[in-house]
Amino acid sequence: MEQLIDWAFIVGHVNYWLFIVLMMTGLYVVVARGNLVKKIVGLNIFQVSVFMLYISIGKITGGTAPIFPVDLTGHIEPDPSIVYSNPLPHVLILTAIVVGIATTSLGLALIVRIREAYDTIEEEDILKIEREMTAEDNKEYGAAMGGRA
Amino acid sequence: METSTALFLTMLIPTVAMAGNMAFKDRENLRDGFTFICALLTFACVLCILCAVGNGTMEEIALFEVVSGLTIAFHVEPLGLMFAIIGSGLWILTHLYGIGYMRGNNEDHHARFFACFSIAIAAVMGIAFASNMFTLFVFYEILTLSTYPLVAHKGTKDAIIGARIYLGILIGTSIALLLTGVIWTFVAAGTLDFVQGGILEGKIAPSLVPILLALYAFGIGKAALMPFHRWLPAAMVAPTPVSALLHAVAVVKAGVFSILKVGIYIFGIDFLAQTGASEWLMWLAAYSIIAASVVAMTKDNLKARLAYSTVSQLSYITLGMALATSMGALGGGMHIAMHAMGKITLFMCAGSIYVAYHKTEISQMQGLGRIMPITFIAFLVGALSIIGLPPLGGSWPKFLLMVGAADAGHQIIIAVLMLSSLLNVAYLLPIVGRGFYRPVTDSKLPKGVAEAPLLCWLPPAITAFGCLILFLYAGAIQDFLAPIVGL
Amino acid sequence: MAAEETHHVAKTFMDHLPVLQVVIPLFAAPIIVFIGKRSLAWPIAFAASAAAFVISCILLIQVLDGGFISYHVGGWAPPLGIEYRIDAANALVLALISGIGTVVLPYAYESVKAEIPKKNHTLFYACFMLCFTGLLGMVATGDAFNVFVFLEISSLSTYVLVAQGANHNKRALTAAYDYLIMGTIGATFFIIGLAMLYMATGTLNMADLADRIADEGTNRTIRAAFAFIVVGMGLKVAIYPLHHWLPNAYTFAPSAVSVFLAATATKAAIYVLLRFMFSVFNPSFVFEEWTLYIVFIPFSLLAMFAASFVAVFQTNIKRMLAYSSIAQIGYMLLGIAMLNATGLSATLVHLVNHGVTKAALFMGVGAMMLYSGSAFFNNLNGLGRKMPLTGAAMVASGLSLIGVPGTAGFISKWVLVQAAFENGWWIIAIAIMLSSLLAVIYVWRMFEVLYLTAPDPQSTAKEAPLAMLVPMWVLAIACIWFGFDTELTLGSARVAADGLLAGSAGMAH
């Protein structure tokens, strides 16, 4: 009888499940939260999930390091019992971490400036202020254009 | 002078005139004199070409290639040459008249006005000598853009709205329909050159020909085919020399000229006749002729009435092409010249009346003929020519069109043409009658003869005389145009 | 292909050009910061961008025969090392970016003085250089992960540049913040896509990726990777439903930044999208064709109509131009979706033409803002008459935006419609024409305000300073020049399109 739920598949891909859960959590926080700082936190979670994805795919069973001793015939004998870590994704993700930090710090810096300018960091309040600004602009515009607007 | 040099000069001199107007912005006499000399020189160059080429066809001169297969190129062929002669010849008169009108009427921004005017003439020359559809399209758009400031000239709310309609319809139809048609033609035929007998035969499914023809017929909005004629009355807000230029010389003639070019050199008269693709257009043109005449009768504003008259007359030319017979096409071509002469007379008269006594409505013109006899006689002559009575030029194209309609076996079209003449009588002659036979009602008008300034009445008198002359030389024009339909 | 142009070991100075044009501005940025003198910041930035422009022109000339140049960073051979690969497609985009950068800087000199507080000038130019580097890098590189790195370099500096408009209007801050959130989500989607590609193929070199995908065919991982990459880049491109960050960012950024962004940022992203769709993935795969037909065509049509329609009702001229950009991006995507050589060349040529046109328009608005203080229509009344040269430049570029014959915009439209007819999509052809009528309306609204309204009697407006006029006119003349002489633009675009459609370049070449 065929299994309804393939437990081996689910457990075997646990790193992907974690990645997906984290990614969705992060994305949800970015979308759903009105507080600008919380949005940045969500963005961070979202990015970190990707780091996990990269690191987990770096583990290759039966692989070898890219620099390895070769015997005289040029033949390589990988040892299946050893789990190598592919260094490339690690290096890539170091770069991505740096990018993530830069993004976070820039975002936070912007929030500081927004707080100075708007006196709030709640998205709804900011939108309200901006709507008022736009309405004012348009009112001025309408008055200046007379019947032509 | 080399013919090719003369050809480029016809476009270059008006451009120089534009630059001159910009440079001598504040020195009225120098500026207007300079433009006048430019106008004379342009006409001289066109005559040079006429002497050198006659009614033959000159080799194409390619200026440069924009995209492979698309070149800006010029050539001389009879239809284009005739259009160029009309355009440059009437520029001289319209310019003189423009000076009189602008000064007599105290309009602003003379330099801008004459600069745009000159560019429009350059564009007309480009259209006349274009040797492929692409070049024609480029100059067609330049003409639209350069006349926009002229229509919006007064800067009042009405002028701006009128100019918006003008531009909206002309740019709108040319981009949405004409350009689509041009590109379709290019993809189908692989070329856009004007070739005797057309380039589309065998390149496109016969069932699609009417659609492509519709793209052209409606896309060339300047031809004012109904229902895209609204821009013409809307553009009436412009100063009268502009109306004269738009309606008699440049814009509308560029439109119907393009229609003829497309019919003769892109589709080919024979191809149209074979496929019967232009039959719907013939009926639409016939409808346009009658409907516009009827609308004209209801208009009290003189310029509006003339505008609808133009809509009706332009459809004669479209009709000539749509008949798809050589006589029809010839009649259409000849009507470009005859109508230009007649209509410019009418418009300049309307402008003179406005300059002298600020009358715009026909009902106000009671007895004005006795005060401005020359203007009104010129108007009468122009009107008779438009109606098509001998011994005036306008009679010949109508005759040719009727012959063409008979060739094509469409007796109804002959009836339409006759009915239209009657309608012309009904909306044009009462104006003259009112002028001469009704008593003067407006007490502010002077007693005795008091004409508009010389520069306002002289040009229409000259063109009215021209209508007479053209009657005598119609045979020459017919022979001149004959090669375009292979006769 | 011209194999002799492929050199694996750089020997002479000329061989280093592909990397130099990225490295020079990259180093200019810290140098500007370390010197820290306001008077030196601008000359250094200008020198660096001019050098990059010269290099990109040399590169473009070298690859116009259809060949490509492969440069190995640090001498490490690809696929392990990072490769910079210049062919006609990216050489064209590189020339556009560096050209616009070089033209914008003289303009920025005056505009930055007026709009940004003095203490920020040095850092502004440093940021500008970083943004410039990022855009050049993501276009020049042949390594997929490198694209991400440069993308983020350009994006992060763009957020900063946009926020500089806060001095003028505080909404620049929220605009920058929104852009940061959206941009980061886009970039992260992009690297998720890359991770999947790496899982499936074990390589990140684009040419190598293409080979392996072609060998293995498609599987679900590759399809998912494709989806993530398209959506991620789509955010950066501002494909219609993903365009929300764009209008505010363009509207509230300082003038010089608006000019630069409008002309280059989305264009570089479109290039990357093209590169992935045609060189990495194979367009003949069913899933990609499908994506093009059911996603790109409807969305680009929506962009063309909806965004143009919104543009018609804007009261702020910069915002109007921003919406117009979204609509124009629709044309470019439509060109991609045609999947034929003419359509692709339409995309590439429009990329250049529209970049030049939009830059000139934003420059004109920026110059007028010096005197009007805002870009609202009612503040610009009659300014075309008070600033005749600026106004004339805006008319020339505005006509090009509409696509009037004799301007660059006309050429793009012509080629695009021609491509539609070649596919027999005449409904699309008519749609393109109809949507350009909307452009007539919004551009003409601008003209009417500039010329046909009475100027404010208290206005002190006079002609813009020379440093702004010259760049503006260079671009305005380019708008007209490229409408008549298409050898450079359309010629290169054709070569590039053929190269892209020939499919993945692959390692073997």
Round to whole Å and give the CA distance between A50 and A53: 5
Average pLDDT, rounded, for chain B: 84
Residue in chain A nearest C151 by alpha carbon: A99
pLDDT, position C233: 92
Q: Is A63 helix (H, G, I), strand (E, B) or coil?
A: coil
Round to whole Å and give the CA distance between B324 and A113: 74
C187 assigned to some structural domain: yes
CB contact under 8 Å between C171 and A107, yes or no, is no
The domain containing residue B479 runs over which residues?
Answer: 278-487
pLDDT, position C180: 94
CB contact under 8 Å between B155 and C486, yes or no, is no
CB contact under 8 Å between B67 and C490, yes or no, is yes
Contacts of C166 in chain A (CB under 8 A): 113, 117
C506 assigned to some structural domain: no
- Ordered DSSP codes for B205-249: -GGGHHHHHHHHHHH-GGG--TTS-THHHHGGGS-HHHHHIIIII
Please identify among residues 478-497 of chain C the ones whose CB lies closer than 8 Å to any CB of chain B.
483-486, 490
Flag whether pLDDT at C456 surpasses 80. no
A142 pLDDT band, cuts 50/70/90, is: low
CB contact under 8 Å between C430 and B180, yes or no, is yes
Interface probe, candidates A54, A67, A110, A129, chain C, greatest C C-beta count within 10 A? A110
- The beta-carbon neighbor of B138 closest among C405, C434, C490 is C405
B2 assigned to some structural domain: no
Phi and psi torsions of C143, nearest 5° = -115, 130
The domain containing residue C135 runs over which residues?
Answer: 3-501
Residue in chain C nearest A96 by alpha carbon: C149
Interface check for C152 against chain A (CB to CB < 8 A): the answer is: yes
B74 assigned to some structural domain: no
Round to whole Å and give the CA distance between C359 and C363: 6
pLDDT, position C173: 92
Paired tokens of B1? 């002078």
CB-based contacts of C375: which residues, under 8 Å, 6+ apart?
C251, C316, C317, C318, C319, C365, C368, C369
- Which of A140-144, B396-400, B456-460, C158-162 has the lowest average pLDDT? A140-144
Flag whether pLDDT at A3 surpasses 90. no
Å from C166 to nearest chain A CA? 9
**Gyration radius of chain C over CA positions:** 22
Position C456, amino acid: D
Q: Which residue has the tokens 């007895």?
A: B367
B28 assigned to some structural domain: no
- The beta-carbon neighbor of C145 closest among A92, A118, A140 is A92
B226 assigned to some structural domain: no
Interface probe, candidates C304, C430, C452, C481, chain B, greatest B C-beta count within 10 A? C452
User: What is the interface size between B and C, counted as CB pairs within 8 Å?
Assistant: 73
Phi and psi torsions of B108, nearest 5° = -95, 175
Round to whole Å and give the CA distance between B127 and B135: 7
Please identify among residues 68-97 of chain C the ones whose CB lies closer than 8 Å to any CB of chain A.
80
Span C215-221, mean pLDDT? 79
CB contact under 8 Å between B137 and C405, yes or no, is yes
Span B455-468, mean pLDDT? 84
B150 assigned to some structural domain: no
Look at C254 and A149; give whichever has higher pLDDT.
C254
Span B13-38, mean pLDDT? 83
Å from C392 to nearest chain A CA? 23
C507 assigned to some structural domain: no
Interface probe, candidates A106, A130, A131, A133, chain C, greatest C C-beta count within 10 A? A106
Give the neighbours of chain B: at least 3 Cβ pairs within 8 Å.
Answer: C
- Which of C100-109, C182-191, C282-291, C416-425 has the lowest average pLDDT? C282-291
Flag whether pLDDT at C4 surpasses 60. no
Å from C253 to nearest chain A CA? 14
Round to whole Å and give the CA distance between B278 and B209: 9
Interface check for C434 against chain A (CB to CB < 8 A): the answer is: no
Span C162-177, mean pLDDT? 89
Flag whether pLDDT at B241 surpasses 70. yes
Interface check for C315 against chain A (CB to CB < 8 A): the answer is: yes
Per-residue pLDDT tens over the stretch B388-446:
887 787 888 888 888 888 888 888 888 888 898 889 888 888 888 888 887 777 777 77
Flag whether pLDDT at B104 surpasses 80. no
Residue in chain C nearest A20 by alpha carbon: C192
* Closest C-alpha to C194, from A85, A50, B255, B388: A50
CB atoms within 10 A of CB B415: 13
Residue in chain B nearest C382 by alpha carbon: B155
CB contact under 8 Å between C195 and A133, yes or no, is no
CA distances from B459 to B112, B241, B462, C259, C304 (A): 22, 11, 5, 52, 50
Flag whether pLDDT at C504 surpasses 60. no
Per-residue pLDDT tens over the stretch B296-332:
888 888 888 888 888 888 888 888 888 888 888 888 8
Residue in chain C nearest A119 by alpha carbon: C170
Å from C197 to nearest chain B CA? 40
Å from B284 to nearest chain C CA? 23
CB contact under 8 Å between A50 and C195, yes or no, is yes
Answer yes or no: are the C-beta atoms of C295 and C333 closer than 8 Å: no
Per-residue pLDDT tens over the stretch B75-88:
888 888 888 888 88
- The beta-carbon neighbor of B176 closest among C405, C437, C444 is C437
CB contact under 8 Å between C174 and A126, yes or no, is yes
Round to whole Å and give the CA distance between C37 and C34: 8
CB contact under 8 Å between C422 and B141, yes or no, is no
Interface of A with C (CB under 8 A): 23, 27, 30, 36, 39, 43, 46-47, 50, 53-54, 57, 66, 88-89, 92, 95-96, 99, 102-103, 106-107, 110-111, 113-114, 117-118, 126, 130, 133, 137-138, 140-141, 144-145, 149
* SS3 letters across C127-179: HHHHHHHHHHHHHHECEHHHHHHHHHHHHHHHHHHHHHHHHCCCHHHHHHHHH
For residue C110, the 8-state DSSP code is H
Contacts of A110 in chain C (CB under 8 A): 159, 163, 173, 176-177, 180
Answer yes or no: are the C-beta atoms of A47 and A100 closer than 8 Å: yes
Interface check for C156 against chain A (CB to CB < 8 A): the answer is: yes
Round to whole Å and give the CA distance between C495 and C61: 12
What residues are paired with B193 via a beta bridge? B132
Å from C339 to nearest chain B CA? 17
CB contact under 8 Å between A53 and C148, yes or no, is no
Flag whether pLDDT at A67 surpasses 60. no
pLDDT, position C11: 66
| 3-state helix vs strand vs coil in chain A, percent to 5 | 70, 5, 25
Span C168-195, mean pLDDT? 92
What residues are paired with B67 via a beta bridge? B70
CB contact under 8 Å between B64 and C484, yes or no, is yes
Domains held by chain C: number:
1
Kindly compute the dihedral angle of the four CA atoms of residues C130, C135, C136, C141, in this order, to the nearest 10 degrees.
120
pLDDT, position C105: 92
CB contact under 8 Å between C404 and B64, yes or no, is no
CATH of A8-118, one of 1.10.287, 1.25.40, 3.40.50, 1.10.530: 1.10.287
Interface probe, candidates C349, C410, C422, C443, chain B, greatest B C-beta count within 10 A? C410
Å from C64 to nearest chain A CA? 34
Flag whether pLDDT at A97 surpasses 70. yes
| Structure ipTM | 0.87
For residue B58, the 8-state DSSP code is P
Å from C298 to nearest chain B CA? 20
Flag whether pLDDT at A111 surpasses 90. yes
Domains held by chain B: number:
1
Instruction: Tell me the residue length of chain A.
Output: 149
Flag whether pLDDT at C9 surpasses 60. no
Span A15-33, mean pLDDT? 90
Span B341-357, mean pLDDT? 84
Contacts of C415 in chain B (CB under 8 A): 67
pLDDT, position A147: 42
Answer yes or no: are the C-beta atoms of B356 and B451 closer than 8 Å: yes
Residue in chain C nearest A126 by alpha carbon: C174
Residue in chain B nearest C405 by alpha carbon: B138
Interface probe, candidates C417, C450, C494, chain B, greatest B C-beta count within 10 A? C417
* Closest C-alpha to C140, from C30, C284, C24: C24
To the nearest whole percent, how much of chain C has pLDDT over 90?
39
Q: Give the start-to-end residue ranges of the domains of chain A.
A: 8-118, 122-149
Please identify among residues 179-208 of chain C the ones whose CB lies closer than 8 Å to any CB of chain A.
180-181, 184-185, 187-188, 191-192, 195, 198-199, 204
Span B7-36, mean pLDDT? 83
Residue in chain B nearest C452 by alpha carbon: B155
